[in-house]
Structure 1
Amino acid sequence: MIVDKVSDLIGNTPLLQIPVSPGPTRLFLKMEKMNPGGSTKDRMAYSMVLAAIKAGRLRPGGVVVESSSGNTGIGLAIAAVEFGLRFIAVVDHHAAPDKIAVMRALGAEIRTVTGTYREDEVAVVERQRLAAQIAAEIPGAIFMNQSDNTANAGGYSAFVREAVAQVGDRIDAYVGCVGTGGSVTGIGRGLKAHDARTLIAAVEPEGSIVFGGPGHPYYQSGTGTPEGDTVGLVLDYGCIDLGLRVSDAQAFETARYFARRYGLLVGGSTGGALYKALELVAEGRIAGNVLVSVADGGEKYLQTIFNDAWMESKGLHDPTVWDRLDAWLGRRAGAASRPEVPLLAVA
C-alpha cells in the first residue's frame, strides 16, 4: 500500500499472538506502538484536530495547546504539521525526555510547568491550568483538553473494526489502560456494540483515583488520574466491567520481562495491562480471545524502566513478578527467571 501523507499510516496495526498455557485462551496484542508517532494516541490526536477543524474552532495557521505526558503531544505535533498549525505542548518533570525530544523534532514548542513536585508526582492539574491560560492568551488558539474532548473516544472506532476483523471471531475480553478514559471508552463501547458479552477491564496505577481508591504518587506515565485532579468527562464508566489497579513494580517488571522473553519492547502502562490480563486468565476470570493494546513502545523509556540503576534507585525491582509471569505463560520458572546481567546501562 502506498499512501500520500503520514496520517494515512495511522491505524491498521498488526496483532501479535502470545501463547498462554494451559487452556484454550489466546492473548492478542494490538501493536499500537507501530503507529507513526509510536503510540495509540495518534488515533485520538488526529481525531481531535480534525473535529476542531470541521467545527470551525481551528483555522489554517491556528494554534493547538495541550497538556501531555508525551504520546498525545507527539500525535498532535504530527497533525499540526499536516494541517499547517502551531502546536504548544505543556509538560512536567514526569514526561519522558525521549518523548519531549520527539515533540521538539516535529516542531512542537515545549512549555514546562514550574513548582516543587516529587519525582513520582504527576503535575497534571498545573499542566492543564497553564495550557488553558496559554490558549486564552493567544489569538486563534484552542486548548484541546483531551480529558473532556468527545473526539478523544471517537478516535478509536477504527481500532475496534480492525481488531474484530483481525481476530476473525468474538473478542471475549479487552484489557487496557485508563487515563483520560478516551481509549477504554471508545474501545469498550465499540466492542460491546459488536458483542455485548465482551468483558472490558480497565487498568489504572496504584495511587490513581479513577476507581475511587486512595491517591498517592506513582511513576507510570500517561495513565491514571493523579490525586488532586478530576476524572475526565470523556470516561464512560458504563462500558467498564472491571476496574483494576497495578503497582509500578508489576507494570515495569512485566515490560522488562516481555523484552527479555519475547524481544518485544512495550511501555510501562502496557506492562501493567499485560500483567493484569494474565492475572485474570490465571484466576479464571477471563478466557477465550483476550485483547490487549500495546499503547506505546519501550523505546521511549530506555532511561527509566529499562535502566537497572533507575529501577534499583526507586525500589521497583520485584523478582516475584518474573516467576508469576513464567507460571502464567507456561515458561521455565526458577532462579533463571530474571536476567543476571543488566537489561541496559544508561549513563
Structure 2
Amino acid sequence: MLCTTTTQLIGQTPVMSIAVPDRDTTLVLKIEKNNPGGSMKDRMARSMVLAALEDGRLSPGGTIVESSSGNTGIGLALSALEFGLRFIAVVDHHAAPDKIRMMRALGAEIRYVEGDFREDEVAVVERQRLAAQLGAQLPGALFMNQSDNPANPEGYAGFVDELMAQLPNGIDAFVGCVGTGGSMTGIAQRLKRHNPAVRTIAVEPAGSIVFGKPGHPYYQSGTGTPAGDKVGKVLDYGCIDEGVQVTDTQAFETARYIARRKGLLVGGSSGGTIYKALEFIAAGKLFGTVVTPVADGGEKYLGSVFDGDWMAKRGLLDPAITAQLDAWLAAKACAA
C-alpha cells in the first residue's frame, strides 16, 4: 500500500523469535518500536483521536491535551498533524529527554508540571490535574484522559490481528506491561476471544500499585501506576491471569543484555517483560509460543538505561542478572 500520511504506517510491525534451550518454548518479540512514533502507543493515540472526532468531542482545528511520559504524546502529535489539530503535552521531569525533543520536533507544545519531586518519582497525579484543567479552560480543547478512555484498548485490535496472521500455529501466552491498562486489556481480551486458554501475564514496576502492593518510587518510564494515582478505568483485571512486578534493575539490565547479545535496542519496560517472560518459562509456567511486545526502543533511553554511569550512580547495575539471563538462554542465537 502506498501511504499518504505518517499514521498509515502504524502497524504491520515484524516479529522476531528467541529460542529458549531445553524448553519446548519460543519467545516471540513483536517489534512495536517500528511504528512511526517509535512505540506501540501510536496505535491507541490514533484510535482516541479518531473516536473523539467521530463523536464530536473534538472538532477540526481543536486542541488535544494529554498527560504523557512521552510515547502517547508522540503518537498524539502524529495524529494531530494528520487531522490539523493543536496538541499540548503535559509532562514531568520523569519523561526521557529524547521523548520531549521528539514531541517538540513534531509540533507539540510542552507544559511541565510544577512541584518538588524526587528523580524517581512520577508526578502523574499533578500531570493529570493540569491536563484536565487545560482541557476544561481552553476553547475547543479536549483532555484525552487515556487512563479512562475506552478508545485506548480499542486501538490494539490491529496488533492482535497481525499476530494471528504472523503466528498461524497459535499463541500460548502473552506477557505485557501494564500502566493505564489500555494495551494489556485490548490485547488480552482479543487473544482470549481467539483462544480462552491463552495465558496472560501483566508486568508492572516494583513500586506500582496496579496489583495492590505498596507503592514507592521507580525509574521505569511509561508503565505502572504510582502511589497516589488511581488505576485507570480501561484496565480489565478479568482478562489478566497473573499480575507480577519487575524491579528497575531487572528491567534495565535485561534491556542492556538484549542490546549486547541480540543487537536489538529495547526500552526499559520491554526489558522488564522479557525478563519476566524468561523467568516464567524457566520455571515451567509458560510454554509453547510466548509473545511479548517491544513497546518502544532503547534509542529513547541512551542517556539513562544504556549509560553505565547513570545506572551506576543509581545503584541499578547487577551483573548477576546478566549471568541469570545467560543461563536461561545459553547464548542461543535468535531466529529471524
Q: Which runs of 5+ in 2 are unaligned?
A: none
Deviation at 1:306, TM superposition (A): 0.3
Residue 156 of structure 2 is aligned to residue 150 of structure 1: no
1:134 paired residue number = 134
Aligned to 2:121: 121
Supply the distance in 2 between the matched residues of 1:4 and 1:83 (Cα, whole angstroms): 13
1:250 aligns with 2:263: no
Match of 2:21 in 1: 21
SS in 2 for 1:215: coil
Q: TM-score, normalised by structure 2?
A: 0.98
Unaligned runs of 5+ in 1: 333-347
- Amino acid in structure 2 at the alignment position of 1:189: Q
Deviations 1:290-322 (A, max 9, x none): 000000000000000000000000000011110
Residues in 1 aligned to 2:331 and 2:40: alpha-carbon distance in whole angstroms: 29
SS in 2 for 1:204: strand
Matches of 2:198 and 2:134 in 1, distance apart?
A: 42
Equivalent residue letter for 1:214: P
The answer on 1:327 being equivalent to 2:300 is no
Which runs of at least 4 in structure 1 moved beyond 3 Å after TM superposition? none
For 2:204, the aligned partner's letter is: E
Give the deviation of 1:190 after TM superposition.
0.4
Deviations 1:120-162 (A, max 9, x none): 0000000000000011110100000000000000000110010
Contact 1:22–1:330 (Cα < 8 Å) also in 2: no
**Partner amino acid for 1:250?**
Q
The residue identity in structure 1 corresponding to 2:137 is: E
1:1-347 equivalence runs, <5 A? 1-331=1-331
Shift of 1:52: 0.1
- Match of 2:117, SS? coil
- Superposed displacement of residue 20, structure 1: 1.0
State whether residues 206 and 245 of structure 1, in contact with CA within 8 Å, keep that contact through their aligned partners in structure 2.
yes
Identity of aligned residues (%): 67
Secondary structure in 1 matching 2:65: strand
Offset of residue 240 of structure 1: 0.1
Shift of 1:64: 0.2
**Bigger CA drift: 19-28 or 155-164?**
19-28
1:337 alignment partner in structure 2: none
- 1:181-207 per-residue CA deviation (whole Å, 9 max, x = no partner) reads 000000000000000000000000000
Once the 2 structures are TM-superposed, how far is the Cα of residue 170 of structure 1 from its aligned partner?
Answer: 1.6
CA contact (8 A) 1:11 1:159 kept: yes
Shift of 1:19: 1.4
SS in 2 for 1:280: helix
> What one-letter code is carried by the residue in structure 2 that aligns with 1:27?
L
Supply the distance in 2 between the matched residues of 1:166 and 1:78 (Cα, whole angstroms): 26
- 1:92 shift after superposition: 0.1
* Amino acid aligned to 1:13: T
Q: Separation in 2 of the partners of 1:285 and 1:269? A: 21
- Partner SS state of residue 208, structure 2: coil
Number of positions where the alignment pairs a residue of Structure 1 with one of Structure 2: 332
Q: 2: CA distance between counterparts of 1:148 and 1:314?
A: 33
Tell me the distance in 2 between the aligned counterparts of 1:21 and 1:214.
36
Work out the CA distance in 2 between the residues paired with 1:63 and 1:109: 11
Amino acid at match of 2:288: G
- Matches of 2:236 and 2:37, distance apart in 1: 26
Instruction: Report how far residue 7 of structure 1 moved.
Output: 1.1
- Secondary structure in structure 2 of the residue aligned to 1:122: coil
Q: Distance in 2 between matches of 1:305 and 1:151?
A: 31
Query: How big is the shift at 1:331?
Result: 2.0
Q: Distance in 2 between matches of 1:297 and 1:263?
A: 12
**In structure 2, distance between residues paired with 1:40 and 1:170:** 21
Moved more, 163-172 or 301-310: 163-172
Structure 1 letter corresponding to 2:197 = R
Shift of 1:22: 1.4
> Equivalent residue of 1:188, what SS?
helix
Q: Deviations over 1:84-139 (max 9, x none)?
A: 00000000000000000000000000000010000000000000000000111101
